[in-house]
Amino acid sequence: MLLLKLKHNNGIPLYNQITDQIKEMIERDVIKPGYKLPSTRTLADRLGVNRSTVYEAYQELWALGYIESRPGSYSFVRKRQELATGNTRKTKSIIPWNKQVSPASENIYRTLHLIRSEYTAESVPPNVINLSPLTMDKRLLPVEDFRKCMNKVLRESGTKVLDYGESNGYGKLRTYIANRLQLHSISVTADEVLITNGSQQGIDLILRLLTEPGSKIAVESPTYSLIIPLLKYFKLDVVSIPMLADGLDIDYLEKVLRKEKISLIYTIPNFQNPTGVTTDQVHRERLLGICEKHRVPIVEDGFEEEMKYFGNAVLPIKSMDKGGVVIYIGTFSKVLSPGIRIGWIAADKDCIERLAAIKRYSDLTSNAVVQGAIYEYCSRGYYDLHIKRMHRIFARRMKTAIKALRKYMPAGKVSWVEPAGGYLIWLKLENHKLDTLKLNKAGLRNGVLVSPGPYFFTGNKRGHEYFRICISTLNEEEIERGIRNLVKTIIQLEKS
């Protein structure tokens, strides 16, 4: 006999009280699987409630899996599958993920795992000057102006930006970017711009569009470290083009293009990551010329286009791209804010539309809320002012870095190329027996971290004699201190 006690007017609906009490009886084994529940009519009469109240309670119990047949006919208690909780969950998944995932995915995971097990930004002790990360100086993030713009856009266009955005990106922002690219002599329309989640997604989309497993692609070596695992993931056949003092070895590239079918070439012509090299006009014209001749798309990563604070601006390759072979990548991450995750691709419309189709199926659109705020920020002139400020600050910081290197580095032991802008300096230990992968262990004791060369190389060259320093997060005092700590570290390494 099912003994239920209902309280009227205690705020809990009657059907909930019935559900909860029966549920508890089942869970406490007071009534067992197979137990036949009274019909809805019988129970309703007995409790003095409406039949529909009992019906609703039974339906809930059925939905939750506590009773067996649909209400209406007789219902029986059933053994419900236990919930998975901290106690009942197996400590290990019964799926062996490391084996069940695609080998390429496992590879990318292991690579990341290796990198993570090293010093990450969070694990660095506060007294250490971290010359490694290419992120922004938090002290320079334009928080207050951005907040005002965000506030304005949510007040004035809130319903627009909280809804799905335009699939190629917020229209006004695409127009702004197209206009801004004109300042760098790049002539594109808003239709030839696709907004991406930072330049990293730009790279991913381009690789998805233009390659298949086994495709040959040409990249500078050394190059941007976060593209290297992606190339492996896509199972690409990487042709490494050596970086020389004035940019990628264009004679070498030309030979490659004459012999092989290359799907694309990825290049960073300004302040190349990691070497800091900026190619000159003649180099750019030659590169464009041979790629036009061989019909090979150039992916021009202009990630620091805006950081030409020393003047003498060489125009982007895209500025001369009459034949539509250059796919240009830009980003706000390295001059405004990486947390907003906004970058863009500017390319021939036929190419942009195909990239947009892949983006559509991979994440629909980019974040409309932040695109709206950034458009506001740019169109009100804050972006121009911010860039001017960044130029002023980093012209000083880079000069400080160069001065400190000249002053403190032991003559003949370390060499470097002075960059024409940006945040990066690439250094070389002249004693080839030293391995820059060992720099950070000693560096941590001396209060400095750098990015060892081998992170950036593709192909056979290991690059253990090189390392990269980055001044983007540090002020002048910190830069000077970091370099002094670095010198101390190198001297120790020489001796050991």
Which residues, 232 to 251, sit near its own copies by CB under 8 A? Answer: 233
Q: Which of 113, 259, 432, 495 binds its own copies (CB under 8 A)?
A: 113
How would you classify the pairing of strands 451-452 and 298-301? unpaired
Please, which residue, 29 or 82, has the CB nearer to its own copies? 82
Min dist. Cβ of residue 50 to its own copies (A): 16
In terms of residues, how long is the chain?
496
Q: Which of 77, 174, 195, 204 binds its own copies (CB under 8 A)?
A: 204
Taking the alpha carbons of 56, 58, 60, 63 in that order, is the dihedral positive or negative? negative
| Per CB under 8 A, 270 contacts its own copies | no
Min dist. Cβ of residue 168 to its own copies (A): 11
Reference 382, options 418, 423, 349, 336; nearest CA is 336
Tokens representing 410 are 């032991």
In the block, residue with structure tokens 């458009």: 375
**DSSP state at residue 71:** B
CA separation for the pair 230, 333 (Å, rounded): 20
Residues 172-191 that bind its own copies (CB under 8 A): 185-187
Q: Which of 18, 268, 299, 325 binds its own copies (CB under 8 A)?
A: 325
Helix (H) / strand (E) element for 105: namely helix 103-116
In the block, residue with structure tokens 């042709």: 239
Residues 348-367 that bind its own copies (CB under 8 A): 348, 350-351, 353-354, 356-358, 360-367
Quick note: the x/- pattern for its own copies over 40-59, rule CB under 8 A, is ----------------x--x
Residues 144-173 that bind its own copies (CB under 8 A): 144, 146-147, 150-151, 154-155, 158-159, 161-165
Q: Which of 33, 214, 323, 381 binds its own copies (CB under 8 A)?
A: 323
Residues 400-429 that bind its own copies (CB under 8 A): none
How would you classify the pairing of strands 264-267 and 216-221? parallel
Please, which residue, 380 or 488, has the CB nearer to its own copies? 380
Min dist. Cβ of residue 64 to its own copies (A): 6
- What's the distance, Cα to Cα, between the start and end of the chain in Å? 86
Min dist. Cβ of residue 197 to its own copies (A): 4
Strand, coil or helix: what is 406? helix
Tokens representing 1 are 């006999």
CA separation for the pair 207, 210 (Å, rounded): 5
Min dist. Cβ of residue 371 to its own copies (A): 9
Quick note: the x/- pattern for its own copies over 64-103, rule CB under 8 A, is xx--x---------x-xxxxxxx-xxx-xxxx-xx-xxxx
CA separation for the pair 334, 19 (Å, rounded): 57
| Per CB under 8 A, 214 contacts its own copies | no
Please, which residue, 402 or 442, has the CB nearer to its own copies? 402
Rounded to 5°, angle at Cα 56 from 55 and 60:
115
| Per CB under 8 A, 12 contacts its own copies | no
